[in-house]
A and B are shown apart, each in its own frame.
Chain A
């Protein structure tokens, strides 16, 4: 291999190292941020859901199946009305983003692993 070819490859490896590291860092931090956000939104949502007054009504009517069947739609509507929609929306969006991040990571896992192996080998040999 000529000196010029070595120089070219070194530049390529440097470029790829920077690119891969920044890609891993940005993906991981994005993933972590959205995991924390979805945890926060889901916990706030669940906290509000558990405070619903509808549960008490629901408890009393579920004892009697006939009563439950008659008032099913009314109860469902009340639950829907009481649901904090904004937080539910944010929780769903952040969960979808987490899923997308995870799928992208799974899809690119082989590629990133190959890159890291090659880069590790190159920099170890250079030392």
Chain B
């Protein structure tokens, strides 16, 4: 039997001959499986995602224009499925969990070490930390450094992290 073109297969499926969908499954499963496997590494989850991709394509086949190539459309579905997969696996914080704010963070380092650690910081970070240690609020530091409040928060957070990192090293 002469090999059927994708558009003929789609036409037949649209006409109710859904057994022709096996041609599409056979033709593209390996390709899609390999692509997803490279991204996920896990066999079970790859299997599930491949299944979802073909089910989604089947659901959309009625509206699919048979003149268009199948492969890019399938890969678009793969991208969406992967996006959904990674989104669902994103770590979330429970509402009950207490979230540490920058203002509450406290670093307890010996005062002798602090002087040494401050030296390694850039001037901007050093200034911000100095003002903070003098009891100025974030807003006041922002006004003093003429920077937006969130930038000041970032500067201080980075300075703290840098100090902790260097303290751990020593």
Q: Is chain A's binding surface mostly helix, strand, loop or mixed?
A: helix
> Is there an interface contact between A110 and B15, defined as CB atoms closer than 8 Å?
yes
A-B interface contact total, Cβ < 8 Å: 58
Q: Tell me the complex Cα distance, A2–B21, Å.
A: 15
Against B, the Cβ 8 Å flags (1 = close, 0 = not) of A1-21 are: 110110111011101100000
Cβ B55 vs Cβ A114 within 8 A: no
Q: Are B18 and A16 in contact (CB under 8 A)?
A: yes
State how many residues of chain A have any CB contact under 8 Å with chain B.
Answer: 22
Q: Are A4's CB and B16's CB within 8 A?
A: no
Interface size on B, residues (CB 8 A): 19
Bound Cα distance A48, B18 (Å): 51
- The reply to whether A118 and B55 contact each other, CB–CB distance below 8 Å, is no
Binds A, one of B22-30, B63-71, B113-121, B147-155: B22-30
Cβ–Cβ contact B16 & A7, under 8 A? no
Chain B residues lying within 8 Å of A127, measured Cβ to Cβ, are none
CB of A115 within 8 Å of the partner chain: yes
